[in-house]
Structure 1
Amino acid sequence: MSGISHLSAAVTVDRAGHELRRGRPVLLTLGQGAEQQRALVLAAETLTEDALAALPAGGDAALALSASRAAVLHIGPTGHDTLLLPLADLPAPAAERATLIRDLADAGRDLAAPLRGPFTRIKAPPPETARLAVKLAKTAYLLPAAVHVALPADAAIDPAWLVVPGEAVADFDMAEAETLVQVSQARLPVADAEHARLYAFRPGDGRQEHFALVIGEPDPQQPVLVRLHSECFTGDLLGSLRCDCGEQLRGAVRTISAAGSGVLLYLAQEGRGIGLVNKLRAYQLQDQGFDTVEANQRLGFDADERWFLPAARMLQRLGFSRVRLLTNNPEKVKGLAACGIEVVERVPHKFPPNAHNEAYLAAKRKKSGHYL
């Protein structure tokens, strides 16, 4: 990445995410000089009529949606992963346009208003700033949709707008992983593993920490038994029966302890990377009859938004480079290997279904290839 450090990228994007969550615009820039793209961006989820009315005149204003969300709305594909709908052509009066935009972003509103449209879409390739605007909303754990106003070169710039280099947004995932540092550790006896230590890793932007529970005294010269566990508030803490996360977490501790040593990484990747609020939205869609993969895609996300460089960096900073991976997910094996960790063995890790998670596990097996 040119012109901006990993740390600067992570901090800038984190600040922009907070602005979007407050319903405030940010100025996204990409490139330099006469060819620079500039776009004012607002998150669709937090959009208000006042914010929409305050958009600068003279810019090309559009709603940016992911292709998967657009398909749910029966908007024809354009061959691009991001689609743009001109705001002026949306089927709503100007005074109600923000409400419509919020509804178009939220799949939970689909059944309440099933006959929206027709929609005019821009068939030309969208500017890169449109794709980055959707990604920026994702980094804030908001719905992946944004108002995108392409500004002409002579447009006045409000000094109150936070300027976000597009390069920082593109680099954000890498920056979060590469700026992880260990900030604390302590001895932590836990049920089923009394000889354990907990290590905390924090990214440079100060966002959510990831944790490593090191059980026993694993030998860095040998492949270490490792479990990658994405945090699950509902399953891990509340004992939700909709998933198998709580069982996997506690079962991993027992398995690693029985093996004598190993590492459990507790990763801040709630809801396969979409965040807790969006996971609850996905649950609402599952209650309407969609499976776990379909629910994420109807919201506009990928089926799985996680990546595994943070896990790889944590293992490397703990001194481990070869692992026996406790998982049923082939993507974890491939993802960790792609990030420089040698996976010498996949160790099965599954539990019997219950009446509430049977369909969930079946979807993971059939659509995501899990060994269940």
Structure 2
Amino acid sequence: MSLIPTIVELLARARADLRMGLPVVLRSEEGLALAASAEVLTPERLGSMRAEGAPVLAITARRAETLKARAYDGDLARIAVPGTASVDWIAQVADPADDMTAPMKGPFETLRAGSPEPHRAAIALAKSARLLPAMVVAPTTAEHRQLTRINIDLASEALHALSPLAPVVSGRVPLSVSEAGRVHVFRPDDGGEEHYVVEIGRPARDKPVLTRLHSACFTGDILGSLKCDCGPQLQAALQQMGTAGEGILLYLNQEGRGIGLANKMRAYSLQDQGFDTVEANHRLGFEDDERDFRIGADILKRLGFASVRLMTNNPAKTAMMEACGVGVVERVPLKVGLNPLNEKYLNTKAKKSGHIL
């Protein structure tokens, strides 16, 4: 076995480095560049990057729209970092927490010349690390062999591909809804978070199985938060499966519609300022929904299921299952959990995200 890490292994290392505030080296046809997360950048690291070349702050077009910065590259904007700018200035541009109290952060010098590909790869890396999608990128001529180095052409393909999932173990877990419960654990090859399957009974593999794709929600599933309907949906799905005597619940670790718990709490803070759930995501620089439903389809096929009766109010899940080769013979509504504190949230999901409520 070769001791040289693959691009998938290098990306896993890069995600860990970025979360700790360590830059990574991006290699492209234009040369080398240092890239560091805007939210954890230290003054010392910014100074070292400035010594290499003029730093640029890469943000998504969603964040640029809030800042009134021109996104010449379509999906992102490259903002020149002024020579006098501190890490606090960079963090304030990247994070919308104080947009309402300090809205005037510009004017910005946004770049048009040069390739945006290193900056695009840097933002994709930040998202995969569950960091704010804002990266400081500076050109360098040094190899920096002590840092993780990433070929962006290989990285782009790997970041957008579905990581293979390997079954790790399964064990019997008697549940309140059914004593015939079993939990399967699947681990992605890219070092990402594991995903879980709760199997009720022994569903036949040659028939459509009652299925729920449930994204992890710490606040709703564990704490009983009233800001969403996740906890009631989880319990209702399991209860229906228990009553039916069989079913498959896929518990996917894609917290906050794929942005992670920290960013989800940032979105909640913005909602307290009056923004709805979609607007909050956009102000942070994310799309409405960053989840990858291909994971659920892949797990179902690995378990031997070709078709499902899908418990969901979200047509996007149905479409993705079909697109990934899993037939959806029926959409089973799951209308539970409405309360005065989440009514606006659910209305926004219906109006802006197409949920059928």
Q: Give yes or no for TM over 0.5.
A: yes
Identity rate, percent: 47
Mapped to 2, the partners of 1:50 and 1:37 lie a distance apart of: 24
Partner of 1:25: 23
Counterpart amino acid of 2:297? A
The CA deviation at 1:362 is: 0.5
Q: Please say which of residues 296-305 and 164-173 is displaced more in the overlay.
A: 164-173
Give the whole-Å Cα distance in 2 for the aligned partners of 1:55 and 1:298.
Answer: 27
> Who is 1:140 aligned against?
129
User: 1:162/1:68 Cα in 2 relative to 1: closer, same or farther (>3 Å)?
Assistant: same
**1:198: Cα distance to partner?**
0.3
- Whether 2:163 is the aligned partner of 1:169: answer no
- The amino acid that maps onto 2:295 is P
Pairs within 5 Å for 1:138-217: 138-151=127-140, 155-173=141-159, 175=161, 177-217=162-202
Deviation at 1:60, TM superposition (A): 4.2
1:271-328 per-position Cα deviation (integer Å, ceiling 9, x unaligned): 0000000000000000000000110110000010011121111111111111111100
Q: Quick check: 1:25–1:41 contact (8 Å CA) kept in 2?
A: yes
Opposite residue 256 of structure 1, the aligned amino acid is M
1:159 CA drift (Å): 1.8
Amino acid at match of 1:333: T
* Distance in 2 between residues matched to 1:316 and 1:337, nearest whole Å: 12
Question: Unaligned 5+ residue runs, structure 2?
Answer: none
User: What are the within-5 Å matches in structure 2 for residues 198-237 of structure 1?
Assistant: 198-237=183-222
How far did 1:134 drift?
0.6
Cα distance, 1:217 vs structure 2: 1.1
Displacement of 1:139 in angstroms is 0.9
Question: Map of 1:1-372 to 2, 5 A cutoff?
Answer: 8-30=6-28, 35-55=29-49, 57=51, 59-78=53-72, 80-88=74-82, 93-94=84-85, 97-124=86-113, 126-151=115-140, 155-173=141-159, 175=161, 177-372=162-357
CA distance in 2 between partners of 1:266 and 1:370 (Å): 20
Gaps of 5+ in 1: 1-6
Secondary structure, counterpart of 1:364 in structure 2? helix
Cα distance in 2, alignment partners of residues 157 and 10 from structure 1? 20
Distance 2:160 2:116 in 1: 22
Shift of 1:113: 1.5
Q: TM-score, normalised by structure 1?
A: 0.91
How many aligned positions are there?
353
C-alpha distance after superposition, 1:60-82 (max 9, x if no partner): 42100000101111113425101
Residues 132 and 194 of structure 1: CA distance in aligned 2, closer, same or farther (over 3 Å): same
Secondary structure of 1:189's aligned partner: coil
With over 3 angstroms needed to count, the CA separation of the structure-2 counterparts of 1:50 and 1:144, relative to structure 1, is same
Distance 1:37 1:336 in 2: 40
Q: Which amino acid aligns with 1:135?
A: A
